[in-house]
Structure 1
Amino acid sequence: MDKRTILAFVLISAVILYMNTSHYRKMAGLPEPGQKRTEQVVEADASSMPATPAEENGILPGDTLRTMAATPVAAPEEAALNTAPVTHLPFEGTPQPERTLTVDTDLYTARFSTRGAQLRSFELKGLKSYYGTSVSLIDGFQSNLNPAFNLDGLNINGAEIDFMPVPDTDLVLTGDETAQLAFRFTDDEGRVMEKVFTFNGSTYGIEMGLHVGGLKERLRNAAYTLGWEIPLQVTELDTLQDATYSEAVVMVGSEVQNFSLGMKKESLGESFKGNLGWITVRNKYFAASVVPQGRSATAVDVFAQRLNPGAAKHVPGYSWTMEMPLQNSEEINDRFLLFLGPLTV
């Protein structure tokens, strides 16, 4: 992790913290705190054969009457189906048992699943929750960091793919040590999807490289998406404390845009368009940020919902989908910086 990467996360944290001050809220006119792919199935109906003539059933002149079962004959269409080679949809493979790999550093313990190559948990070291256990930021049941795209009309979602980890082992890093963990999938026709995570034992930042290639079809819709469902869990015993500060923050051009569910709504959504530098979801003390590298996203759809309808104390959850423009119709190659950790680093 180079100095520019660390500086980027420090600046993001500084911007978010400043936006929480009374001075900023007064200037901005804000109130103070407190106030699985669908497969197309084609059914082929074999044409019924006409009745077999008696003489073709072995009833011949002068012979003893005998009966013979007619041998079924497949219709031409059915015969073609039976002899055709078995084909699979793009990025379809044999389902594999889900496995988890652990990356342990001085600052956190991250667990990645081979199903979708996504985070299952992210626990911070040296910080205790209100239960006295390590602070856990990730809900393992939510989809995260999954690309989705369209191949000639077929929608592909990386969350449904079983990847092969390289290396297929847990990683332990101390100090400034660095290491990579790759997740790769190749289908029978050579299509490839790969995520490569790079870790540094002394920072909360993680680099993620994304590659999709070997395609036989063309990428459509001029863009692909990267999504994250509810990046942060509640970390405060008094959930109202988290709810008061919880929001999504998006850098649009040179302006910082805030999006908050508030205390009265059950759900709310908003789209941000333009040159999008980064998106952060935060609560009182922690943040989950994604920063595209080398180029900008063109849109981010943010959705917020109340996770405990009817409860006395509000618990909001924020999800987002980032739209990345395609550089060509043949492959995807992008890099992102991820940050999961305390706002003060």
Structure 2
Amino acid sequence: MRSHSPISLCPLATPLRNNPAPEDQRNVIIATILVAVIMFAWMFWFSPPPQQQQTAAPDDTTQQTEPPSAEADTAPADSPADTGEFPTAEAPGEAPQDQPEVSDQAAQPEAPEPDSVTAAALGGTAREIVVETDLYTAVFSTKGGTLQRFTLKEYKQFNQKDPVQIVDTTAGGTLSLSFTTPTRRRVDTRTLYFSASTEADTVRVEDESRTLAFEAQLGDGTLRQSYTFHPDDYDLGLAIEQERPRSFLTSDGYELTWHGGMPYSEGGEESELRYTGLYARNGGQIRSLTLSGEDQNEKRVDGDVSWMAVKNKYFTAALMPDRPETARGGVLSGSKEGRVSSEAAFKNLTGRIQMPLPREASHVDEFHLYAGPIDYYNLSAYGRNLYGMVDYGWDWFEWLTKPLAKYLYIPMLTYLGGGLPETTVASLGLPAWLAAGIPYGIVVILMAIIIKTLVYPLTKSSYRSMAKMRELQPKMQEIKDKYDDEPEKQQEEMMKLYRETGVNPIGGCLPMFLQYPILISLYQFIPKSIQLRQKSFLWAADLSAPDVILQLPFTIPFYGDYV
């Protein structure tokens, strides 16, 4: 009888451990470092080359209209006014092109020659009218009937002393109408004098809305601009009323123009330059002009314009027609210009919304102007995707960063840090401290805990997979030793072992990679959050800014020059 040798049974595998072993922790650290090195190398080699800073303002690409002579009233039909083109002319005092000058003062509009349309509005005395609300101070001028300054009371600049300024105070007026008259004069309303609806120098907005109107006589017609202010609201109403518009407008209609970029308020000029831009929503798409890769550019949009906005990192001014479908299009233009007071460039931005010639003898175009912080709930109240101008970070992560920001980060910062409405707290019987809010630093910690909880299944899966691989190490080594000279057979046996044990060889790495978009979304959102701006916690003076402990002598792409 043939004897059989006893079969030696393999010892039972040790129970899987959820806690990582030291060697697993070492592998995780090595993998993280390698991923970081690859990402920084990729961004360094494939990022666009940095633009050289300008020490002089580039040539102005905006056409300047040379006022025609008195004989222009009888200009022939093929004159430039009929074709929509205007000859360019050097502004008085403009430096020759071979000797460019740098100035802190923006180019001022040139008044047209007086004629039967403009003569009555070209003379007058400029008077400033101050509008005071609890949220802002706005200064208007009867010259141009335009906004000169818009100062936010609840927000300070980086020095935490001076209030934030929304408009470019060097532009000679922020809002204006531009149009061509039937007498072929090109008019910028910043050069006209308007009469105001009030003799007071200060208008206070307290319990109810107030309206400030500016009126100018243009030939047989009247142009009236009315601004409506609301208490406790950053929204302004703008009504442009035209009486007998055909007496001072041609078939081209008019352009409502925003002049100037957003003034610096955060102290870091390079950062300001990166975040400042001009945006518009047209046909459901958001168009942008940020000058990130060029010194000057212009973009045109055709058809409806839902809104047009200029923004920096934390603040915006957005102009919205009440009837977007009536707009004929828009133009976004800008250039980087040097400034005497700074070596860094400044973005000179101009946005135009083109409006048609009214058919009626009396017509009103109504707009909304939002001038304030980039607050999600303030902007979303308009229902026009205004918050879409915010950059959520790298485009390939936006599918995840957008919903996390909208449905997790922003609500937590708004309602936990800023506090719930008192009526909500009272009606639900919640603790009173929820109305006052909790420190923003605690909110950020809670956000980190929630994110860690969300990615815990991925972390656990990664550790379990690494634990399984560790249990297979002896068998894998046996296969390597047995088929050392047969690579194909060795690979075949390895795959067979993986199938039999249900182990995925990349199961330890893939879950870790899936966590990175979530962590990056938090990293991208915090520096742009208006709620965290200038909020301190423990030793950190500003939760939205890096806590710099070491200034580097070089700059790391997409990171900075600090540790």
Query: TM-score with structure 1 length normalisation?
Result: 0.70
* Cα distance, 1:300–1:266 mapped onto 2, change above 3 Å: same
The whole-number CA distance in structure 1 between the counterparts of 2:344 and 2:246 is: 51
Match of 1:134 in 2: 163
3-state SS of the aligned residue for 1:38?
coil
The whole-number CA distance in structure 1 between the counterparts of 2:210 and 2:301 is: 35
1:6-85 aligned within 5 A: 38-42=67-71
Match of 2:235 in 1: 205
* Cα distance, 1:168–1:39 mapped onto 2, change above 3 Å: farther
* Cα distance, 1:308–1:332 mapped onto 2, change above 3 Å: farther
Q: Is the 8 A contact 1:224 1:326 kept in 2?
A: yes
Candidates 106, 124, 129, aligned match of 2:152: 124
The whole-number CA distance in structure 2 between the counterparts of 1:216 and 1:326 is: 8
Aligned residues, how many?
269
3-state SS of the aligned residue for 2:328?
strand
* Cα distance, 1:88–1:314 mapped onto 2, change above 3 Å: closer
* Structure 1: unaligned runs, 5 residues or longer: 1-30, 44-86
Match of 2:400 in 1: none
3-state SS of the aligned residue for 2:344?
coil
Candidates 344, 357, 361, aligned match of 1:326: 357
1:285-296 aligned within 5 A: 285-296=314-325
The whole-number CA distance in structure 2 between the counterparts of 1:144 and 1:254 is: 26
- Asked if 1:196 corresponds to 2:196, the answer is no
Q: Deviations over 1:259-318 (max 9, x none)?
A: 2101x5221111111221111111000001000012432211111111327965343232
Q: Which structure has greater helix proportion?
A: 2
The whole-number CA distance in structure 2 between the counterparts of 1:338 and 1:216 is: 27
Q: Deviations over 1:224-258 (max 9, x none)?
A: 11111115211121111221211222111112222
Q: Is the 8 A contact 1:37 1:157 kept in 2?
A: no
Match of 1:107 in 2: 135
Candidates 68, 75, 89, aligned match of 2:116: 89
Q: Is the 8 A contact 2:221 2:248 kept in 1?
A: no
* Cα distance, 1:239–1:198 mapped onto 2, change above 3 Å: same
Match of 2:190 in 1: 159
3-state SS of the aligned residue for 2:240?
strand
3-state SS of the aligned residue for 2:238?
strand
Match of 2:456 in 1: none
The whole-number CA distance in structure 1 between the counterparts of 2:239 and 2:132 is: 20
3-state SS of the aligned residue for 2:303?
strand
Could you say what the CA RMSD is over the residues aligned between the two structures, in angstroms? 2.8
Structure 1 residue 163: Cα displacement: 0.6
Structure 1 residue 141: Cα displacement: 2.8
Q: Which has the larger radius of gyration?
A: 2
The whole-number CA distance in structure 1 between the counterparts of 2:196 and 2:285 is: 39
Match of 1:171 in 2: 203
Match of 2:373 in 1: 342
Query: Which residue identity lines up with residue 354 of structure 2 in the other structure?
Result: E
Match of 1:273 in 2: 302
Q: Is the 8 A contact 1:247 1:260 kept in 2?
A: yes
Match of 1:17 in 2: none
Q: Is the 8 A contact 1:234 1:315 kept in 2?
A: no
* Cα distance, 1:111–1:309 mapped onto 2, change above 3 Å: closer
The whole-number CA distance in structure 1 between the counterparts of 2:235 and 2:135 is: 11
Deviates more, 1:210-219 or 1:130-139: 210-219
Structure 1 residue 146: Cα displacement: 1.2
* Cα distance, 1:91–1:135 mapped onto 2, change above 3 Å: same
Q: Is the 8 A contact 1:194 1:210 kept in 2?
A: yes
Structure 1 residue 177: Cα displacement: 2.1
Q: Deviations over 1:91-118 (max 9, x none)?
A: 3226112110000000000000000001
- Asked if 1:250 corresponds to 2:280, the answer is yes
The whole-number CA distance in structure 2 between the counterparts of 1:304 and 1:254 is: 23
% identical aligned pairs: 21
Match of 2:512 in 1: none
- Asked if 1:220 corresponds to 2:245, the answer is no
* Cα distance, 1:107–1:121 mapped onto 2, change above 3 Å: same
* Structure 2: unaligned runs, 5 residues or longer: 1-46, 52-64, 73-113, 379-563
Deviates more, 1:334-343 or 1:215-224: 215-224
The whole-number CA distance in structure 2 between the counterparts of 1:178 and 1:158 is: 26
Query: Which residue identity lines up with residue 118 of structure 2 in the other structure?
Result: F
3-state SS of the aligned residue for 1:261?
coil
The whole-number CA distance in structure 2 between the counterparts of 1:112 and 1:326 is: 26
Q: Is the 8 A contact 1:266 1:309 kept in 2?
A: no
The whole-number CA distance in structure 1 between the counterparts of 2:192 and 2:364 is: 18
Query: Which residue identity lines up with residue 291 of structure 1 in the other structure?
Result: M
Q: Which structure has greater strand proportion?
A: 1
Structure 1 residue 216: Cα displacement: 6.5
Candidates 332, 344, 366, aligned match of 1:313: 344
Q: Is the 8 A contact 1:218 1:330 kept in 2?
A: no
Match of 2:508 in 1: none
Structure 1 residue 332: Cα displacement: 4.7
Match of 1:183 in 2: 214
3-state SS of the aligned residue for 1:313?
strand
* Cα distance, 1:284–1:253 mapped onto 2, change above 3 Å: same
* Cα distance, 1:136–1:216 mapped onto 2, change above 3 Å: closer
